[in-house]
Amino acid sequence: MQELDPTILRKVNSWLQGSYDADVKQEIQKLLDQGAYTELTDSFYRDLEFGTGGLRGTMGPGSNRINKYTIGAATQGLSNFLKKTYPGEKIKVAIAHDSRNNAELFSRITAEVFSANGIHVYFFKALRPTPELSFAVRLFDCKSGVMLTASHNPKEYNGYKAYGADGGQFVSPADKAVMDEVAAIGSVDEIKFTRVDANIEEIGEEVDKLYLDKITALSVSQDAIKRQKDLKIVYSPIHGTGITLVPKALERFGFENVILVDEQINPDGNFPTVIYPNPEEKEALTLALKKAKEVDADLVLATDPDADRVGIAVKNTNNEFILLNGNQTGSLLINYLLTAWQENGKLTGKEYIVKTIVTTNLIEEIAKAKNVKFYNTLTGFKYIGELMTKFEGKQTFIVGGEESYGYLVGELVRDKDAVVSSAFIAEMTAYYKDKGSSLFEALIKTYLDYGFYKEKLISITKKGKTGAEEIKEMMEKFRSNPPATLGGSKVITLKDYEKGVETDLVKGVTAKLDFPLSDVLQFITEDGSIISARPSGTEPKIKFYCSVNGKLASAAAYEQTDQQLELKIAAIIKDLGV
C-alpha cells in the first residue's frame, strides 16, 4: 500500500494545525482520508517557487499551489523587499487581474496585504490587460506592480507576475532579492492580511483613455488606413481581457469594420469554447476562422486571456485562411515598421529593435539590411524591457518581439502588448493592401528579399515532481553529450547559456557568452540551422526550438521550398530523439 512521505506528511500537518481557513483544512483532510497521496505529494512536495517572473501554478490547497496563502506570502515578501529598497519613501504599487477564475479574489488579497504594509495601491476595479498594468506602473510612478494572471495556461492555473519601477518584470539582481524575501516568509502568521482602506485607490477608465491616446499617436500609416478603413478584421479575445481595449484601439486607429467573435467576447475563466486559451493553438482560433470565412475577412486577430500575446490568420494565395506563427508575424511587423519609418524619414541612426535568442534570425537580416541596430536577449520579455530601460533617452526603441506571439511597438510599456500589436498588425495589413498586396504575399516577398527562414517548436510536458526530474535529466544529457549531427549537418557550435560558454566544436576553442546565466542550450549546424533546448520557466515543459533556412528562388517556388525546409526540421527532430 502506498504511503505518504514523512516529510510531506509533516508539511500537510503544519497546514492542518496552522492559521489557515477551515475550508482549506477540510479540503486537505478530505484528500488524506481518500488516500490521494499523489495529489498531496504534488501539492506539498515543495513551496511553489517565486521565480524570476513571479508565481504560476494550479489552484488548490497546499504549499505548491496557487491559493490565498501562497499569493499572500508572495505579496508579503514583495512588500518587505520594497520597504527595504525604498526606506523612508512613499511606496506605490499598481494591481490588475485578468478573467481567470479567482483572479479578482487574488487581486484583492494582494491589495489587502500591500495596504496592511503601509503601501499605496492603485487598484484596477475591473479586469484589464497585462500591458495596461505595465503602463500604469510607469504612469503613477509606482515602485512595483502585480498582474494576477496565468497567461495562456489551462483554466486550472493562475499566477502572479511581479513588476519593478520601470514597468518591466524584475530582473537581476532585484529578482533574486525579491525571491529571497518571499522564501524568507517562514509562517502564514507573518502575512499581514488586514486591509487598510485608506491605502487602496481604484482606477479604471481614466487610465484606458491615456493609454489609448498614447498608442494611437504611434501610428505611422494613417493615410493608408483612411483608404482601407473598411478592412474586414475578425477579432476574438478568447474569453479574456482583450475585449476591454483591443476593439477600442482598432477603432482609434481608424478601422470601421471590426467583427467580434460573439461566442468568445464574454470574459470567462472556464474558457468554455476552447481546450486551451492559447492563440498559438489552432483549435483556439476555430470560431474566429469560421467567422472569417463567413464574412471573407482580410485579417483574423485573437488575444490570450491577459492580452499580452496575439495570434493572427491571413489568406494565402489559394484564398484559404492560414495561421501565421510568432516568428512570421514578428518578422512581418518588424519589416513593416522599419520600412514605414524609413519612408516617413523617421530613421536617424539612433533606433533599434530587439528579439530573443530563440526567435528567428530573419529579423536580424531585416535589421541589417535596413541599417538599424538589433539586439538579442534571453527568452522572456523582461529582458527586452530591461534593455529598453537601459537605453531610454539615448536610443529609440521601435519594436521588439519573441517567437511566442509577444510583440511591443513603442516605449509606453515594458512588456509584450497585444493591444498595441493588434492595432499595428491591422495597420500593417492596411498598408500592404493599399499597395495591392496581401499580408501573405508580403511574407513571401520578405523571404525573397532576406532568405526563407522556417521554425518549429516542439514542446514536451512533464508534470509533477517526477516530470521536473526528467526535464533536468534531458538537459544534462544534451549538455554532456551534444549531438554530432542534426538533420544531416554537422553541429559546429554549442552555446551553453547556463555555463556562459560558447564552444567551437571544430576548433575546440571556447568564448564567453555575454548574457545572464540561463538554462538554455543551442546547437548551430554547418548549414546555419539553430536548435535550442530550454525548460519552460512558467510551465512543466521542456521546449525545443528548431530554425532552418534556405534561399527562395521565386514566389512560385514557395510551397516546394517550404516542404524542403519542413523535411529538414523533421530530420532534426528525429536526430534529437524527442
Separation CA 36–CA 3 (nearest Å): 10
Positions marked catalytic = 151
- The answer to whether residues 64 and 8 touch, using CB atoms and an 8 Å cutoff, is no
Q: Which three cell numbers stand for residue 32?
A: 488524506
Distance, C-alpha 341 to centroid of its chain: 26
State how beta strands 120-124 and 200-203 pair.
parallel
- C-alpha cell, 194: 488586514
Spatial contact of 219 and 225, defined as CB atoms under 8 Å apart: yes
| Cα–Cα distance measured from residue 440 to residue 31, given in angstroms and rounded to the nearest whole number | 53
C-alpha cell of 42?
504534488
Per-residue DSSP letter, 196: -
Helix, strand, coil shares of the chain, percent, nearest 5, are 40, 20, 35
The answer to whether 157 and 276 have CB atoms below 8 angstroms apart is no
Backbone dihedral region for residue 117 (phi beyond 0: left; psi -120 to 50: alpha; all else: beta)? alpha
User: Which amino acid, 531?
Assistant: I
Cα torsion angle, 172, 175, 181, 184, sign: negative
H-run or E-run covering 56: strand 54-58
Give Cβ neighbours of residue 236 (< 8 Å, ≥ 6 apart): 260, 261, 264, 265, 285, 287, 288, 300, 301, 302, 303
Cell triple for 51: 521565480
Joined grid coordinates for residue 363: 529579423
Tallying the residues shown for the chain, one arrives at 578
CA distance 132 to 138: 10
Question: Exposure string (b/e) for 490-519, b if CB count within 10 Å is 16 or more?
Answer: ebbbbbbbeeeebbeeeeeeeeebebeebb
Alpha-carbon span 111 to 114, nearest angstrom: 5
Question: Is 406 in contact with 311 (CB distance < 8 Å)?
Answer: no
The residues pairing with 160 across neighbouring beta strands, listed in sequence order, are 55, 148
Residue in this structure with the C-alpha cell 534593455, named with its chain if needed:
387
Nine-digit cell at 429? 495589413
19 burial (CB, 10 Å; 0-12 / 13-18 / 19+) is exposed
* Alpha-carbon span 564 to 381, nearest angstrom: 32
What three-state secondary structure class fits 483? coil
Q: DSSP alpha helices (H): ranges in 275-361?
A: 286-295, 326-343
If DSSP states are collapsed to H, E and C, what string results for 456-522? EEEEEECCHHHHHHHHHHHHHHHHHCCCCEECCEEEEEEEECCCCEEEECCCCEEEECCCCCCCCEE
